[in-house]
Amino acid sequence: MQTLTLANIYELQGLKEEALDIYKEILKKDPSNSDAKIAIRRLSGMRKKFLGVNVTMKDFFIGMQDEVEYNEFERWLLK
C-alpha cells in the first residue's frame, strides 16, 4: 500500500528514489494532492536555491550529536 506515510518513512531513511516513486504514484491517483506535489519538487531538486546559506553551519547542524553541539548551534542562531 503506497501512502504518504510510507513515502515519508522512506525519505527519512534516505531512500529518496523509493519515496519519489510513491509520491508520483499518489499524484497519479490524486492529481490535486498538494503534499505529494511538494515532496516531488523537493526530491527532484526543483526547490529554489536559497542564497546566503551558511554551508558550514548547515553541515554542523546536520551532524550535531550531543547537547554541547545543540547549545553551540542555538547560540549561533541567537546572534
Cβ–Cβ contacts within 10 Å for residue 20, how many?
18
What pLDDT band is residue 62 in, cutting at 50, 70 and 90? confident
The mean per-residue pLDDT over the stretch 31-54 comes to 81
DSSP structure class, residue 48 = P
Please determine, for residue 69, whether its predicted confidence score (pLDDT) is greater than 60: yes
Cα dihedral across residues 17, 25, 13, 57: positive or negative? positive
What pLDDT band is residue 25 in, cutting at 50, 70 and 90? very high
The 3-state DSSP class for residue 46 equals: coil
The pLDDT of residue 53 = 74
| Degrees, nearest 5: CA angle 41-24-36 | 55
The pLDDT of residue 66 = 92
pTM: 0.57
Cβ–Cβ contacts within 10 Å for residue 22, how many?
24
Please determine, for residue 48, whether its predicted confidence score (pLDDT) is greater than 60: no
